[in-house]
Chain A
Amino acid sequence: MVKTVTFSVFRYDPEKDTRPYYKDYRVELRRPGMMVLDGLNQIRWEQDGTLAFRRSCREGVCGSDGLNINGVNMLACITHIEELKEPIVVQPLPSMPVIKDLVVDFTDFYAKYYLVKPYLITKTPPPSDRERLQSPEDRKKLDGLYECILCACCSTSCPSFWADPNYLGPAALLKAWRFIADTRDEGADERLEIINDRDGAWRCHTILNCVEACPKQLNPTEAIAELKKAIIHRKF
C-alpha cells in the first residue's frame, strides 16, 4: 500500500471567499524523495484543479515556489516531504498580498529591489580593447552574494519587514551589497545614500530569520552588517 501524507493548504479566492480557509488533501508518496512541490502538483493535477501556486524549474533555481511550509519560508521544490512533520501546512509567503491561494503579489518586493539600483554603475569608461576585467580574488568576494534567486523567502520571514511596510528588506539589501562589494562598480555612494535610512539597513534588528530561510544558504544579515559598516566608514 502507498503511504499517504496530509497537506493542509491555505485557500483564498478573493472573488468567492470572504476569508481564507485551510483545506486538507491526502498526497500519495509514490516514489522516494518526493518534494512538497510534487505533492502540490499531485493535488492540482489529480484532486483539485482550482488550487493556484507558482512553479517553474522545480529544482531551486527559478525561485518561483517560495512558500511558508510548517511555519518556515522555503522553496517547495527542494523540500523533502518525508523530512516534514504532518500535517504539512502550506501557506503563502507572510505579509505579501494574496492574489489567489498560494500566489502572492510581488510588486512591492520588486519595487524595493529596484530602489537599491541592482545593476552595475560605472563612471569610468571601459577599456577600449576588452571588457572590464576582475581578478579571481575580487570575483571571489561576490560568492555568497550573487546567487540570490529573488524568491522572497528572506524578506517575508523578517519581522521588521512584516511590521514596517517601507523597510527595504534583506533581499534588496543583500543585492545592494553584492554591487557595492563589486570592484568594478562605482555606485556605492548613491546606493549607501538610499540605504542609510531608518527604512534601510538600520531597520535590520539582526533577528536572523532571513539567514535561516534562505534556500541558497546566503547570509543577508551579514551583508546588511557590511552595509552598516560601509555607511559608518563613509561618515568618519
Chain B
Amino acid sequence: MKKVVFQPKVRYKLHPGYLAWILHRATGILLGVYLFLHIWVIHHLSQGEEAFNEVMAVVQSPLFHLLEIGLLATVVYHGLNGLRVVFIDYGNLAKRDMMRKVVYAVLAVSAILVVAGAVPMFRLAFGL
C-alpha cells in the first residue's frame, strides 16, 4: 500500500507576476462565460425581429451598461496582460529588472483605459 504523505500547501506571497496570472485566469474564465451570453443574445436574430428587439431592450438597460464597464475591464486587462505574457516568452520582458515594472504598467494602462471607457457608459446608464 502506498504510504500517505503530507504535502504542504502554503499561502504563497502574491508577487506581482503571481497576481497578474491569477487575474489573467479569472478574466479568461469571465470572457468565456461572456462569450456564451453574447452568443445567446445574438442567436435571437434567427427568431425574428421582434425576439431580437426584445432581448436587446434588456441588455440596453442601465444595469447592463454598468456591467459593460466590467466587461471592458475584463477585456482590456486580459488583452494587455496577454501581450505581456507573449513578450515574456518572445521578447525580453522576463528580465529581472523589468518583470515587476511591466506588471505595474499593464495594471496602470488598464486602469486608465477602463476609467476613460467608463465615463460614456455611466452617462448612458444614467441618461446624462
Contact = CB atoms under 8 A, between A and B. Distances in A.
B8 A211 contact: no
A98 interface: yes
A126 interface: no
Contacts of B122: none
Nearest to A10: B8
Nearest to A97: B5
A221 B10 contact: no
A205 B21 contact: yes
Contacts of A221: 88, 94, 99
B9 to A, nearest CB: 6
Q: Which of B9, B89, B95, B99 has the most CB of A within 10 A?
A: B89
A96 B5 CA distance: 9
A209 B16 CA distance: 9
B36 interface: no
A214 to B, nearest CB: 9
B86 to A, nearest CB: 9
Interface string A66-82: 00101110000000000
Interface in A185-236: 205-209, 211-212, 217, 219, 221-222, 225, 228-229
Contacts of A98: 5-8
Contacts, number: 89
Interface string A1-33: 000000000101010000110000000000000
Interface in B1-17: 5-13, 15-17
Nearest to A17: B6
B6 A20 contact: yes
Nearest to B92: A222
Contacts of A217: 96
B18 interface: yes
A229 B90 contact: yes
B8 A92 contact: yes
B21 A219 contact: no
B85 interface: yes
Interface in A94-128: 94-98, 105
A91 interface: yes
Given A217-B96, A225-B94, A91 B18 contact: no
A60 B115 CA distance: 47
A121 B60 CA distance: 65
Contact of A219 (B11, B85, B94): B94
A105 B17 contact: no
A155 interface: no
Contacts of B15: 208-209, 212
B68 to A, nearest CB: 29
A53 interface: no
7 contacts: A92-B8, A206-B88, A212-B17, A219-B94, A219-B95, A225-B88, A225-B89
Interface of A: 10, 12, 14, 19-20, 68, 70-72, 91-98, 105, 157, 159, 162, 205-209, 211-212, 217, 219, 221-222, 225, 228-229
Q: Which 8 A-B pairs have the closest CB atoms?
A: A208-B17, A97-B5, A71-B13, A222-B94, A206-B88, A207-B21, A221-B94, A212-B15
Interface of B: 5-13, 15-18, 21, 85, 88-90, 94-96, 99
